[in-house]
Amino acid sequence: MKLLITGGGGFLGARLARTLLARGTLAGRAITRVVLTDIAPPPADLLADARVEARTGALLMHTEALRDEPFDGVFHLASAVSGECEADFDLGLRSNLDSTRALLDALRFNVNAGGAATRVVFSSSVAVFGPDPSVPLPAVVTDTTLPAPQTSYGTHKLICEHLVADYTRKGYIDGRAARLMTVTVRPGKPNGAASSFFSGIIREPLAGMEAVCPVDASVSHPVSSPTRTVDGLIAVFEASREAFNGRTAMNLPALNVRVSDMLDALAAVAGPAVRERVRFERDERIAAIVANWPGGASADRAARLGLAAHGGFAEIIRQYIDDCAAAPNAEQTLKGLSR
């Protein structure tokens, strides 16, 4: 089968591609080709796989050609992130709304030309939720909590959820929207997103660096590991329509943790000296943004697909350490860890 992963050069897209290529099959069929689109080329290990084809450039550059190119499955992960959308409103509309519309219309074009409806997993986000004076935000958002986005990014994700649902209703795609939780621990550098510290307060101390936590230790947030997030996307793809149960978006499993839980887990896994590299320095701008985010999420529909979050944050840290240890730059990324 031939797959398309938009945003396939990014952290999550590349990880999804690796996982799929290692499995070799999806929904019982052999994966013969994986097309990765992204503004930057994918990592070298993916390019070295003969099944992989990279198409570099904004998604909108590629969608016209997709009209004549059938795919068996699409993972649509490409997106401008929240900080980018807040800074450049037009960029957000173009990258998140226009690109998704163009992608869905390309797939519709295929169906109108006699092709089968392509299965599409759209990566939505817990960012669709937020407090509005008319809609108090519950402590734990469920699959059926009323979304009230507080950012353009969350707005775009919600809009695309409904486009995916309507194109699915019409038979133009077989679409499923899954809401990703905040993925941690992300490798690499801080990325300027308000949620960046959820990875930074683990990643930096493990690398022997100091980290600043800009919010109170009591702040709670729904997070997920990269592995469980990728597993969730794949399970949503493989689910029958009956098992997916409807056309509305589904929350992926969340581990609802307080910052203090995360740091306790860091001390337990890596030792108190590592945890001591995190200091609290409140950033009012970030704290105000985070205050608009849900403190937790539940995922009843995903649970019925057999998906679950990690049992505790220590598992997530251990997974990150294992990932780093297997990578060539382990000396750097785990510099702070006495092993």
Question: Taking CB under 8 A as the criterion, which residues in 265-304 touch its own copies?
Answer: 301
- In whole angstroms, give the CA distance from residue 58 to residue 42: 13
Question: Taking CB under 8 A as the criterion, which residues in 82-111 touch its own copies?
Answer: 89, 93, 101, 108
Output the smallest distance, CB 131 to its own copies, in A.
9
Nearer to its own copies, 19 or 142 (CB): 142
With binding defined as CB under 8 A, does residue 243 bind its own copies? no
Q: Which two tokens stand for residue 290?
A: 């985070």
Question: Taking CB under 8 A as the criterion, which residues in 31-70 touch its own copies?
Answer: none
Segment interacting with its own copies (CB under 8 A) among 63-71, 232-240, 245-253, 281-289:
245-253
Q: For the chain, first and last CA: distance in Å?
A: 43
How big is the chain by its Cα radius of gyration, in Å? 20
Q: Is 153 an annotated catalytic residue?
A: yes
With binding defined as CB under 8 A, does residue 196 bind its own copies? no
- Helices 313-326 and 226-238, packing angle to 10 deg: 100
User: Which one, of 182, 173, 170, 68, lies nearest residue 123 by Cα?
Assistant: 182
- Encoded one letter per residue, x for contact with its own copies by CB under 8 A and - for no contact, window 107-146 reads -x-----------------------xxxx-------xxxx
Burial classification of residue 44, based on how many CB atoms lie within 10 Å of its CB (0-12 exposed, 13-18 middle, 19 or more buried):
exposed
Alpha helices, DSSP H, located in the chain: 11-23, 44-47, 59-66, 82-87, 89-92, 99-112, 152-169, 197-206, 226-238, 241-244, 259-270, 272-275, 284-291, 300-304, 313-326, 330-333
With binding defined as CB under 8 A, does residue 170 bind its own copies? yes
Output the smallest distance, CB 109 to its own copies, in A.
11
With binding defined as CB under 8 A, does residue 306 bind its own copies? no
User: Which one, of 256, 197, 192, 194, lies nearest residue 224 by Cα?
Assistant: 256
DSSP 8-state class, residue 72: S
With binding defined as CB under 8 A, does residue 163 bind its own copies? yes
Contact with its own copies (CB under 8 A): which of 23, 29, 169, 282? Answer: 169
With binding defined as CB under 8 A, does residue 165 bind its own copies? yes
Number of residues that bind its own copies (CB under 8 A): 32
The contact set with its own copies (CB under 8 A) reads: 89, 93, 101, 108, 132-135, 143-146, 148-150, 152, 155, 158-159, 162-163, 165-166, 169-170, 172, 245-248, 250, 301
